Amino acid sequence: MKMLIKGGQVVDPINRLDQVLDVLVIDGKIAQLGTDLNQEDATVIDARQMVVAPGLVDMHVHLREPGFEEKETIATGCAAAARGGVTTLVPMPNTRPTTDCPEIVRFIQNQAASTGIHVLPAGAVSVGQRGQQLTDFTALKAAGVPALTDDGLPIQNMALLRQAMFQAKELGLPILDHCEDRDLVQNYSVNEGKISVQLGLPGRPAIAEALQIMRDVMLAEDTGAHIHICHLSTKKGVDIIRQAKAKGICVTCETCPQYFMLTEEEVLRQGPLARVNPPLRTWEDREAILAGLEDGTIDAIITDHAPHTEAEKAKPLPDAPSGMVGLETSLALSLTVLYHSGRLTLTRVLDLMSHSPAALLGLNKGCIGIGDDADLIVFDPEQEWVVDRDQFVSKGRNTPFHGQTVRGRVKYTISMGKIIYQEG
């Protein structure tokens, strides 16, 4: 199996490569990089005017299977990933049953095996995500989980979380924490502030995120564990993490396009489509997230791809489920807002979406060196297109970006040297 990708601008964040080159792939690995390469019996991809980059690594995705197949299946979620240029993803454990034991981890791995996407399920921290008893971290690690999390239902009990951190540290696994104090946010639907007041609804305050990040950072310092803060949404949170990193505490974090693009006002325009946990925040928060991406405080861009059915999202704001899909739009949105605006370099955007999350999970992904896995994307960085939810291959149509013009279009997604998505 040979593939020759000719004449693309090869961008590899970690090998500091940004150069027009041919890429030769043999048996699923990068075999050669150079100019004017030729190879008999290779599939040839014409990548002129295109960028060739590592396949994206999305470390925070909800695939919904087992248990919620009406929202998404592993097959449809992985097809959406391929269309968006994502070749490696980490599904969250809030399935039914929850991913809290090796059997469910293996079920997900088996379902994903034929998709071409590297699916590495995160294990739950607590049995049933109930926050009472820790899962068997050793068994979960042996089954292949790259991280532990109770995403969506963060652990409130500090003794349990501290114990989890000691064990996770021993095993070299990060804990991914959705930081919102549950007493402060209840099941409220919007940010606490002018919009919640205007709508007459109780809100989820920014301090609910900041308090838990502060708690986690202090526990990480105390235990030496690696804590990774999920989908950062507030200025306070960015500030705490920036300071913690300066102190040398082992903390990393991620954010999503919705937090550097949208603000709470979106709820007035789009209602439940703009409902997400943590909620869309203020303009100041959005600016702080952008600043965190610029100065390296934020380590990864993820989607938090959270498909829901149209019927569920048609409910009134207080009753509709939280979340938005993202796999098919994240690259284009990130390129549009971060790269084409001149805020971040192309290399930095691609690093945030590939090598950087891979590295913090200890995965050898997101690089284009000789011998590396040939997980690659070929995209036109300039092509404009309009987000159309009816074109999604995900079962989820719940995007707040429908109708938006974006710039940057995936042409090919390649996993282990095989084309798993080709435009058109």
In the complex, which residues of this chain contact Zn ion (CB under 5 A)?
151-152, 178, 230
Is residue 263 part of the contact set for ligand DOR (CB under 6 A)?
no
Instruction: Work out how close the CB of 218 gets to Zn ion at its nearest, in angstroms, rounded to a whole number.
Output: 21
Is residue 212 part of the contact set for ligand DOR (CB under 6 A)?
no
Is residue 131 part of the contact set for ligand DOR (CB under 6 A)?
no
Instruction: Work out how close the CB of 94 gets to ligand DOR at its nearest, in angstroms, rounded to a whole number.
Output: 5
Residues making up the chain, counted from first to last = 424
Tell me how many residues contact ligand DOR (CB under 6 A): 11
Which of Zn ion, ligand DOR, none binds 395 (CB below 5-8 Å, type-dependent)? none
372 is catalytic: no
Mind spelling out the 3-state secondary structure of the chain? CEEEEEEEEEEECCCCEEEEEEEEEECCEEEEEECCCCCCCCEEEECCCCEEEECEEEEEECCCCCCCCCCCCHHHHHHHHHHHCEEEEEECCCCCCCCCCHHHHHHHHHHHCCCCCEECCCECCEHHHCCCCECCHHHHHHHCCCCEECCCCCCCCHHHHHHHHHHHHHHCCCEEECCCCHHHHCCCCEECCHHHHHHCCCEECHHHHHHHHHHHHHHHHHHCCCEEECCCCCHHHHHHHHHHHHCCCCEEEEECHHHHHCCCCHHHHHHHHHCCCCCCCCHHHHHHHHHHHHHCCCCEECCCECCCCHHHHCCCCCCCCCCECCCCCHHHHHHHHHHCCCCCCHHHHHHHHCHHHHHHCCCCCCCCCCCCECCEEEEEEEEEEECCHHHCCCCCCCCCCCCCEEEEEEEEEEECCEEEEECC
Stretch that binds ligand DOR, among 202-210, 233-241, 320-328, 363-371 (CB under 6 A): 320-328
Which of Zn ion, ligand DOR, none binds 119 (CB below 5-8 Å, type-dependent)? none
Closer CB to ligand DOR, 51 or 306, in the complex = 306
Is residue 306 part of the contact set for ligand DOR (CB under 6 A)?
yes
User: Of 93, 152, 381, 400, which lies in the binding site for ligand DOR, with binding defined by CB under 6 A?
Assistant: 152
Instruction: Work out how close the CB of 163 gets to ligand DOR at its nearest, in angstroms, rounded to a whole number.
Output: 23
Closer CB to Zn ion, 230 or 238, in the complex = 230
Q: Considering only residues 172 through 201, tell me which ones interact with ligand DOR, judged by CB under 6 A.
A: 178
Is residue 62 part of the contact set for ligand DOR (CB under 6 A)?
yes
Instruction: Work out how close the CB of 230 gets to ligand DOR at its nearest, in angstroms, rounded to a whole number.
Output: 7
Is residue 277 part of the contact set for ligand DOR (CB under 6 A)?
yes
Instruction: Work out how close the CB of 82 gets to ligand DOR at its nearest, in angstroms, rounded to a whole number.
Output: 21
List the structure tokens of 231. Answer: 């989908």
Is residue 299 part of the contact set for ligand DOR (CB under 6 A)?
no
Is residue 323 part of the contact set for ligand DOR (CB under 6 A)?
yes
User: Of 94, 167, 255, 394, which lies in the binding site for ligand DOR, with binding defined by CB under 6 A?
Assistant: 94
Which of Zn ion, ligand DOR, none binds 154 (CB below 5-8 Å, type-dependent)? none
Of 58, 304, 351, 373, catalytic: 304
What phi and psi, each to the nearest 5 degrees, are found at residue 19?
-155, 150
Closer CB to Zn ion, 150 or 266, in the complex = 150
Instruction: Work out how close the CB of 394 gets to Zn ion at its nearest, in angstroms, rounded to a whole number.
Output: 18
Catalytically annotated residues: 304
